[in-house]
Amino acid sequence: MPSFGMMIDGHSVAAADTFTVFNPADGSPVAEAPNATVADLDRAVAAAKAAFESWSRKTDAELQAACEAVTEAIGEHAEELAQLLTAEQGKPLNGLGSRWELGGAQAWAGYTAGLSLPMKVLQDNNEGRVELFRNPLGVVGSITPWNFPVMIAVWHILPALRTGNTVVIKPSPFTPLSTLRLVEIMNTVLPAGVVNAVSADDQHDNIGAAMSGHPDIRKIVFTGSCATGQKVMQGAAETMKRLTLELGGNDAGIVLPDVDPQAIAEGLFWGAFINNGQTCAAMKRLYVHDSVYDAVCDALVAYARNIPVGDGREEGSVLGPVSNLMQFDKVKRLVEDASGRGRVLLGGKPGDGLFFPPTIIADLTDDAPLVTEEQFGPALPIIRYTDIDAAIAQANASATGLGGSVWSADVASAHKVARRLECGSVWINKHGAIQPNAPFGGVKSSGVGVEFGEEGLAEYTDIQVVFS
């Protein structure tokens, strides 16, 4: 069985212990991943800290060129990484799967390479000159989830590099392999120590907690659950780390009565079921006006029932298995409960292994756990409403606020509803369509800070103002 190493100071380093990564499609072992200790983390952080001295002094043009070289390297190894990603995460190679994720990762890296935060002159007159600079922070600690391992690693690493920081990344123990290989590829075009990677199953040494409290890590960027994000924030408090936390969401979609159900069915489906629903900004609950409720349900089910579900390594699969047993059990629990409360229109019963069919359950009320909890899987609850003010209130009645959507034939009307939703991003007649030039982040318990664009890039810097 293949064995992967950590990447520390430009070298592949074996850990004293390993853990096995399994393919969720059939439970077969994929490879052995290094089970890092806190001592391994310390070595990685020390390498990043040493590399920061010279990396942070590079010119803006040099940093841009380095990020462009990383982008090119990702493209050259895209198919290799996609195959590895499918093997460990389960998503299909095709459709909105691994090859799509690698294409997105390359595009995001390329866009980020072209961003810049030049010095700003705040004042220049007979009273003096005032200049604002954006300075790199130091070592950035990145903790990534299992749903988009390569894409999110790029979201974390590239803005750090572009602003002159160095990085230590820890991927999810469910999907460490593609990230370890990605960082190894990056190290073929970057100086030693600029990007380092450690992985661990967190059973012995909690590497994530050690990163949050590490005195030589100046910023943590974390994507994951609200509960873990709270722990990261607590762990970072003593050292006053900068934080970017992109946490969970329970995104609501609201369908207005003027829609064409057939026209929106495809968009509704992919808004909810992209990556098998295992997406922070996927649509997790759908509010549909009474006058079009049955027609929307029928159109959505008609579209969903034709989506092929299978082993991601098979070219014809469009959706794959749930990525891990922990998440499968949560989806199963929520669907079983909802099946006794509402009307199962599609799916509802788990398949073999970790396969769970696209599931749509109608006639639920707002107190159903499938509505109140983030399912993070292939199950969508549909709730009927008659009053738009009540629907907006229900959509906002959540501790989280990552994304939301409004569906209508009248964009102006949809825009008015969108502005009343308490979330960081709102889409009209689509859901979850993030892009690299638009800041992305949540409100309320969905996180701290933003990613993407100049606003996201600035999160990797400190402001220094020089008066002369």
Rounded-to-integer distance, Cα 311 and Cα 47, Å: 40
- Residue range 250-270, pLDDT digits in tens: 999 999 999 999 999 999 999
Report the CATH architecture of 6-247+446-467: 3-Layer(aba) Sandwich (3.40)
Return the SS3 of 132: strand
The DSSP line for 12-57 is EE--S-EEEEE-TTT--EEEEEE---HHHHHHHHHHHHHHHHHHTT
Residue 324 carries which side chain, given as an amino acid letter?
A: N
Q: What is the DSSP pairing of strand 400-401 with strand 379-385?
A: unpaired
Does an H or E element contain 141, and which? strand 139-143
Handedness of CA 229, 230, 234, 240 (dihedral sign): positive
Going by C-beta distance under 8 Å and a sequence separation of 6 or more, which residues neighbour residue 402?
Answer: 246, 247, 248, 249, 250, 251, 280, 281, 423, 424, 425, 442, 446, 447
Q: Please give the average per-residue pLDDT across 51-71, as a whole number.
A: 98
- Residue range 408-462, pLDDT digits in tens: 999 999 999 999 999 999 999 999 999 999 999 999 999 999 999 999 999 999 9
pTM of the complete model beyond 0.85: yes
Using pLDDT thresholds of 50, 70 and 90, give the confidence band for residue 1: confident
Domain boundaries, the chain: 6-247+446-467, 251-428
Rounded-to-integer distance, Cα 240 and Cα 221, Å: 14
Going by C-beta distance under 8 Å and a sequence separation of 6 or more, which residues neighbour residue 193?
Answer: 9, 10, 47, 48, 50, 51, 166
What per-residue confidence (pLDDT) applies to 202?
74
What's the CATH fold of domain 251-428? Aldehyde Dehydrogenase; Chain A, domain 2 (3.40.309)
- Residue range 100-130, pLDDT digits in tens: 999 999 999 999 999 999 999 999 999 999 9
Q: What is the DSSP pairing of strand 425-428 with strand 139-143?
A: unpaired
pLDDT at 205 > cutoff 80: no
Q: What is the DSSP pairing of strand 251-255 with strand 403-407?
A: parallel
Does an H or E element contain 404, and which? strand 403-407
What per-residue confidence (pLDDT) applies to 253?
98
pLDDT at 353 > cutoff 70: yes
* Range in 19-28, 199-208, 308-317 with the lowest mean pLDDT: 199-208
List beta partners, residue 169.
142, 197
Check residues 442 and 204 and name the one with the higher pLDDT: 442
- Residue range 172-187, pLDDT digits in tens: 999 999 999 999 999 9
What per-residue confidence (pLDDT) applies to 204?
66
What per-residue confidence (pLDDT) applies to 254?
98
Residues known to be catalytic: 246, 280
